[in-house]
Amino acid sequence: MNGSSLFSIIGSVIGGVGLFLLGMRLMTDGLKYAAGTSLRDILENSTSTPLRGILSGALITSLVQSSSAVTVAAIGFVNAGLLDLSHSISIIYGSNIGTTMTGWLVSMVGFKFNINTFAIPLVGIGMLFRLSPHEGRRSAMGDVLAGFGVFFIGVEVLKTTFAGAGENINLLSFAGDGFASLSIFVAIGFLLTLLMQSSSASMAVILTAMAGDIITLNNAAATVIGANVGTTSTAALSVIGATSNAKRLATGHVIFNIVTGIVALALLPFLLTFLGKIQNFLGLGDSPAILLALFHTIFNVLGVLLLYPFTKSLVKTLNSFFHTREEDEAQTRHLDRNVMATPVMAMQAIFMELKRIGDIAFRMAKGAISSEAGPSSRMLSDKHVLDQLINSVGDFINLLMRKNMPPDLDDLLANALRISGYYVDLSELAIDLAKIQNNKVHTGGHEKLAEDLHAMRRDVVNLLKRFDVDLPGYSHKERKKELEELKEEYRALKARMLREASKGNLTVSQMVADLEAIARIRRIAEQAEKAARYLLTLRIEKEKEENGETTTLSKTLSR
């Protein structure tokens, strides 16, 4: 083969694939726009059961002609928290079935009709719609029609190119039914999809190459398997920097396609023979292209049937991947339904979990007081973790309340809920304080006020450290006395700020910003005192059980 012939073939293949991809893009974008929010609504509302998720995934993919679009959309919804992992996995199953529609279009239409008789008019009609003065869905449908025409023009270019290239492209030298030969064609299919980022485009190339006697049916089937696995590259690229759940979904997509590919490769000779008989039985003729499209569909359906019963186990396994610090910390460590049968043990578990939550709330508060920057990523992360743990504690307490609890423990459960509320308040005050300090005008060059403000910050941070009910000899009376002293310090500082502002030594904007900041610092200390006061009741109950001592709530609160 001379250089000009090779260049001509390569150029035609590139052009054909380009037209095919352009047509796919026009169809996909047009259908998504014409459907409005339907894609989002179907994905959100049609996943109440795994079967409905599979059907909706298959339907949407067959309509928009892009499994990548549906997969990336599903990953986006998981990333945003609109879909959970178990429901989105079923959409991935369905999208793999829906993407096989391209093979049927090419094999049933592209090889059966004179493409130019309908494809070129479709482009013209589509552009007439596109140029219509009425924008909106009519224009989008114009893109769909034009894309459909360009799609088949690309198929025709590939058909024509490969029809005359059989003698010049000698892939048949790699042909064979052995593992090594089939592996080469699996790799070719994978690379085709990886490079074009479209398994549909790969399918068109494979079908037209087989029609041009470039490769045999067996090797074309192996290439389709590789292309099917290669489509996972889009999902893998889309989750760079995404949430853990999105990464888990992409991993589930990879696992599904690899398992499906291995099964299809192992059963390849049997499947092709069996499907050939099915093809004849259904009256679909003896076209190798139709047989290949049938093979593509059946092995994806087979993959769903194989993995569907194990979906819960797959989700459980995926949930063990890609753990972040926030997810690890947001998991309760002491709450266990097994301890509910023993109320005192349940109260001990609640006490220890609330201690953990208190540590996070105090960490946020001390971070906000000690820094004059806005909410850091660590603080926002801590807030998310705290909210998750608070919800878990609340659910645990609600379950306990449904049981026959001793009367004194009813009061303790109420105290636990109070503590949860104080910790939520603490976390929100910390976020507010950080925002105020990030945006406020500081006390300018007024050194004395700046020193007083710094002293109050330091005193509150030190007081927060002493609100640890597990400290040896902890006395809440002493902590409350220190809180009253802090309030006096706050009132004195507030009065000085007002006085300096009235003298013109402090601008009104500076005064208002600083008053807002110190008010929240004072409230942080107050909420910490309330949380420690009620947490102490749980600690004493825990000590009572450990030491066999008796006590009452009134004695606890007056300690």
Burial status of residue 245 (CB atoms within 10 A of its CB: 0-12, 13-18, 19 or more): buried
pLDDT of residue 175: 61
Residue with tokens 């369905």: 94
439 and 520 housed in the same domain? yes
| Segment 116-142 mean pLDDT | 75
Q: Which of 277, 293, 322 is the last residue of a domain?
A: 322
Tens of pLDDT, residues 195-207: 776 777 778 788 8
Q: What is the model's pLDDT at position 473?
A: 83
Residues near 165 by beta carbon (within 8 Å), at least 6 away in sequence? 9, 212, 214
- Which pLDDT band holds residue 555 (cuts at 50, 70, 90)? very low
Shared domain for 306 and 342, answered yes or no, is no
Least confident of 69-78, 389-398, 439-448: 439-448
Residue with token string 């910790």: 423
pLDDT per position as a tens digit, 208-250:
788 777 788 888 899 999 988 988 877 777 666 666 777 888 8
Do 289 and 338 have their domain in common? no
Q: Lowest-pLDDT range, 64-68, 354-358, 511-515?
A: 64-68
CA dist 468 and 472 (Å) reads 9
Are 204 and 273 contained in the same domain?
yes
What is the rounded distance in angstroms from the CA atom of residue 225 to the CA atom of residue 120?
Answer: 32
Tokens for 475, please give them: 């006395």
Residues 291 and 336 in one domain: no
The pLDDT-based confidence of 280 (bands split at 50, 70, 90) is confident
Question: In this model, does residue 542 exceed pLDDT 70?
Answer: no
Domain enclosing residue 195, as ranges: 3-322
Q: Which pLDDT value is given to residue 524? A: 93
User: Cα separation of 220 and 207, whole Å?
Assistant: 8
What does the alpha-carbon distance between residue 402 and residue 79 come to, in Å, rounded to a whole number?
35
Question: Both 366 and 280 in a single domain?
Answer: no
* Range picked from 26-35, 57-66, 302-311, 464-473 for highest mean pLDDT: 302-311
Kindly state the average pLDDT of the residues 498-508. 83
What is residue 209's predicted lDDT score, i.e. its pLDDT? 80
**pLDDT tens digit sequence for 150-160:** 877 776 776 66
Considering the domain architecture, whether residues 351 and 291 belong to the same structural domain is answered as no
pLDDT at res. 5? 64
User: Between residues 345 and 250, which one has the greater pLDDT?
Assistant: 250
Mean pLDDT of the chain: 78
| Among 322, 348, 363, residue at a domain's last position | 322
- Provide the pLDDT for residue 426: 93
pLDDT at 523 over 90: yes
Is 387 found in the same domain as 369? yes
**Among 220, 190, 193, residue whose Cα is nearest residue 289:** 220
Q: What is the mean pLDDT of residues 414-437?
A: 90
Domain count, the chain: 2
Q: Is the pLDDT of residue 421 over 90?
A: yes
229 and 375 assigned to the same domain: no
pLDDT band of 553, cuts 50, 70, 90: very low
Residues 361 and 461 in one domain: yes
Mean pLDDT to the nearest integer, 242-266: 86
Q: Which of 281, 307, 322 is the last residue of a domain?
A: 322
Helices (H), 239-376: 244-266, 268-281, 288-307, 311-318, 325-329, 343-370
The most confident of the ranges 15-19, 58-62, 415-419 is 415-419
- What percentage of the chain has pLDDT greater than the value 90? 13
| Cβ atoms within 10 Å, residue 397 | 18
pLDDT, position 262 = 93
pLDDT band at 559 (very low <50, low <70, confident <90, very high): very low
Residue 550 has pLDDT above 60, yes or no: no
Query: Is it the case that residue 446 has pLDDT exceeding 80?
Result: no
Contact 530, 353 (CB under 8 A): no
Range from 78-82, 104-108, 474-478 carrying the lowest mean pLDDT: 78-82
Q: Residue 162 corresponds to which amino acid?
A: F
Contacts 24+ apart (CB under 8 A), 356-361: 356/389, 357/386, 357/389, 357/390, 357/393, 357/420, 357/423, 358/419, 358/423, 358/531, 358/535, 360/329, 360/385, 360/386, 360/389, 360/423, 360/427, 361/386, 361/423, 361/426, 361/427, 361/430, 361/531
Residues 294 and 338 in one domain: no
Place of tokens 């003729």: 285
- Lowest mean pLDDT, pick from 61-65, 226-230, 532-536: 61-65
Confidence grade of residue 42 (pLDDT, cut at 50, 70, 90): low
Mean of the pLDDT values across residues 50-78? 75
Element (H, E) at 78: helix 67-79
> Exposed, middle or buried: residue 12 (CB in 10 Å: 0-12, 13-18, 19+)?
middle
Return the pLDDT at 16: 73
Tell whether 316 and 346 lie within a shared domain: no
The CATH number for 393's domain is: 1.20.58.220
